[in-house]
Amino acid sequence: MPSNHLMELLNKAIARELQVSIQYMWQHVQWKGVKAFAIKDELKKIAITEMKHAEAIAERLNYLGGIPTTKPDPIFVGTDIKEMLSQDAKDEEGAITLYKEIIEVATRENDITTKKLFEAILADEEEHHDTFTGLLEEV
């Protein structure tokens, strides 16, 4: 059986994934102007990926006997592209830190499946972080 700590971390990850999937989608919808036009499709794609992460983590937590949260972390849409991308990059940094912790805890608890799930998700989050920080250089 997984520890309560690991189960709490998985729910924290779900809340984060729900937050950014909504946040990025609303940013995609609200962005205007030439610079936004170049970015919005990528943002929509990332939002959908984040929702798939939430689903995969929820399925894992449910399998482990936990109850997945339906409450996202606080959503920050922002008012301009620079503000949005800065927050998005910070949110991805937080995810990277959290998911490394989950990988460590899952490893200690010999939960290979959770470890592998988060290694795959971590790779996506690092790619998202790279996208947002790269876009910030252009705005």
Per-residue three-class SS string for 3-29 = CHHHHHHHHHHHHHHHHHHHHHHHHHH
Mean pLDDT of the chain: 94
Q: pLDDT of 13-25, one tens digit each?
A: 999 999 999 999 9
Could you give the CA distance from residue 131 to residue 27 in angstroms, rounded to a whole number? Answer: 15
Q: pLDDT of 125-134, one tens digit each?
A: 999 999 999 9
Report whether pLDDT(55) > 80.
Answer: yes
pTM over the 0.85 mark? yes
Please identify which residue in the block is written with the tokens 């990988």. 103
Token pair of 35 as six digits? 């610079």
Decide yes or no: CATH 1.20.1260.10 for domain 4-136: yes
